[in-house]
Amino acid sequence: MTLMKAYLRGLWEGKFILGYTLLLSLTLFIAAPFLMIALRSVGKGWFGRLWLPPQLTLDWYRWAVEVGNIPEVMKNTLIIGAIAVIVSTVIGIFAGWAFGRRQMPGKEVLMAIILLPRMIPPITYALGVAKIFYTLELVDTYLGVAMAHVSVCAPYAILVLSATFEGLDERVLEAAGVCGANTIKRFIYVVLPLILPGILASMIFSFTHSYNEFTLTLLTYGPNTVTLPIRTYLAVGDGYWEITSAMAVIMVVPSLLILAMIQRRAKPEKLVGGFKGV
Amino acid sequence: MGAGNDPPPPFAAAVQRDGMTAFWRTHQSTLVTVFLLLPALAGFFGLFFYPMLLTVILSFRPEGHEVGWTLENYTRFLADPDGRWVILLTFILALGSTALSVLLSVPLSLILREKVRGHQFYRLMILVPLVIPGLIGALGLLLFWGSRGWFNLFLLQFMPFVQRPVAVNYTIHGLTMFYVWLYFPYTCVTTMSALESLDRSIEEAGAVSGANRWQVLRYIVLPLITPGILAGSVLTFMAAFGAFSVPLIAGGNYRPLAVEIYKQISIPIPARWSAASAIAMIMGLLQVAFLTLYMRFVRRGGGTGGPR
């Protein structure tokens, strides 16, 4: 509504007409696919040249839950995501502390090497990961799929956390020491509150990555570890657009919630570094 | 650890422990650093380096064999006109969508810089394609631009000269547009942050000196934000070059490298791992080579400011 009002006001004032036209078409460009998915997921008998579905129904969601086995799939996705988040955050905390707070020769080079997976298309190392996991029989286990996700999540966790730890001011710690806090107290009351936002950010990044990850999952999943993106992909292959749309809605809502949650805290530039399983 | 090199004297255990303690004292800092880096290094070698190594080795093996060396996997793909077309197609899609993203991002960030009404909403809007899975985006785009989607409905009902639905899905321009939808935020966000960190007084100085708005934009603003734009476009290019899920479901007959790799191990029985590995190596090398060239170009003088 505000949008329409702003547009009309812009027209009225004769300024920014071009600008608002561009913004409005951008909004349409980005939002229209979601609208189509949402409408398709509740529409019934929507054929031919109709702008809106003639009947509304929730049948497709029922089908998605019953036939697509969404609760089971959701459980898989969450378990795999949790393992991937824990592993990559632990890796990130250790390596981030080393990169952010400790002196070492060749730090830049080492960091560049460890962050190398971001430079290479995931499918290239996904092949090798899949091959190794087949021999180790890690394919189609929660641990295996989660470890495959770690290869994508961990570089981002390291990146975010080393920036966080680097920003930690030594003088604050010294001040706490002077005021009589011992190491444990200093850690709990001073260090932890300062680094917690960074750790949370890294966890959210990692989880979103794991949640969206498609390439590596496709090469390591099995019947017991179908995740949401894979389930949606399989449904696309089956050709039932309505059910696929229902699954897509179920899948996209948490992503948008996370975006709404973090958009006030995190700067968009940081988001660009993260996200996307391609 | 390393102190055990001397020939073991009597009371070896005690001396060794002393040696260990001394070693620990002198190298404590290094050891802690190494210990902290250990999980990351393990992850790197286990989940990236060793898989890549395996892919390299596999790409030189004859198909389905564990021994022997051959270049056949590479030569077969590169000699095949289809193979070369796949490489060309990947570049067309990636470069096309990168260029379009830049064309879209610059005006957009110029507008949003003016803090127009609801600019926060638009900023959030731009981030949406980043956080949703590419698969879902592709699905929605297919629905919207399809022959029964709203785009064609609009054309058929309001454009008198359009008689039949316009084909967008499964065409090369459609695919490029889908890529733009998914990957332009990388460029846009970096461009916006470059614009916001720009000092307004420079522009005012230009305006005072008698430059009109267009000249200020052309000769002052654009050169200054070029490094930001280029840095963002690298991200878009990388994402578009490695795109997999989108062309997989929305590509139709257009299969870029990533999809071609997957086809090699998913369609033929038995799976052709060596061929897939060879294509993967070609893809990785092309991306690294292109990025190196691009970075060099950016450093050389893609803008007066240069990247920090």
Q: Which of B243, B207, B200, B246 is nearest to B224 (CA)?
A: B200
How much is the mean pLDDT over chain B? 84
Task: State the virtual CA torsion across B27, B30, B35, B36 in degrees, nearest 10.
Answer: 150
Spell out which residues of chain B touch residue A121, defining contact as CB-CB under 8 Å: 238, 241-242, 244, 257-258, 283-284, 287
Distance in angstroms (rounded) separating the CA atoms of residues A51 and A39 = 10
Note whether B143 contacts A: Cβ–Cβ < 8 A.
yes
- Give the bridge partners for A56, in sequence order: A43
What is the average per-residue pLDDT within A24-50?
A: 85
Distance from CA of B275 to the nearest CA of A (A): 11
Spell out which residues of chain A touch residue B41, defining contact as CB-CB under 8 Å: 114
What token pair was written down for A174?
């010294």
| pLDDT the model gives residue A265 | 65
CB-CB contact of B106 with B217 (8 Å): no
| pLDDT the model gives residue B298 | 72
Q: For chain A, where do the domains classified as CATH 1.10.3720.10 start and end?
A: 69-273
Residue A44 is inside which H or E element, if any?
strand A43-44
What is the average per-residue pLDDT within B171-196?
A: 91
SS3 category, A115: coil
* Distance of alpha carbon A128 from the chain centroid: 23
Distance in angstroms (rounded) separating the CA atoms of residues B231 and A73 = 38
C-beta atoms of A32 and B144 within 8 A:
yes
> DSSP for B178-210?
HHHHHHHHHHHHHHHHHHHTS-HHHHHHHHHTT
| Whether residue B37 has pLDDT greater than 80 | yes
CA quadruple A129, A130, A131, A132: dihedral sign: positive
Between B74 and B6, residue with greater pLDDT: B74
pLDDT for B247-259, tens place per residue?
998 888 899 999 9
pLDDT band, very low/low/confident/very high, at A170 (cuts 50, 70, 90): confident
* Distance of alpha carbon A216 from the chain centroid: 14
What is the average per-residue pLDDT within A125-145?
A: 92
pLDDT band, very low/low/confident/very high, at A15 (cuts 50, 70, 90): low
| Whether residue B90 has pLDDT greater than 90 | yes
Note whether B33 contacts A: Cβ–Cβ < 8 A.
yes
| Whether residue B8 has pLDDT greater than 70 | no
Q: Which domains does chain B have, with CATH numbers?
A: 13-60 (no CATH), 84-301 (1.10.3720.10)
How much is the mean pLDDT over chain A? 84
Distance from CA of B244 to the nearest CA of A (A): 6
Most confident of A114-118, B30-34, B90-94, B110-114: B90-94
Residue B5 neighbours by CB distance under 10 Å: 6
CA distances for B287 relative to B186, B218, B250, angstroms:
18, 32, 22
Q: Does domain A69-273 match CATH 1.10.150.240?
A: no
Q: Tell me which of A34-38, A39-43, A208-212, B293-297 is least confident.
A: B293-297
Distance in angstroms (rounded) separating the CA atoms of residues B251 and B169 = 8
Note whether A34 contacts B: Cβ–Cβ < 8 A.
yes
| pLDDT the model gives residue A268 | 57
Note whether B256 contacts A: Cβ–Cβ < 8 A.
no
Distance in angstroms (rounded) separating the CA atoms of residues A159 and A201 = 11
pLDDT band, very low/low/confident/very high, at A278 (cuts 50, 70, 90): very low
C-beta atoms of B140 and A29 within 8 A:
no
ipTM confidence:
0.84
C-beta atoms of A233 and B245 within 8 A:
yes
Q: Which of A252, A129, A149 is nearest to A209 (CA)?
A: A149
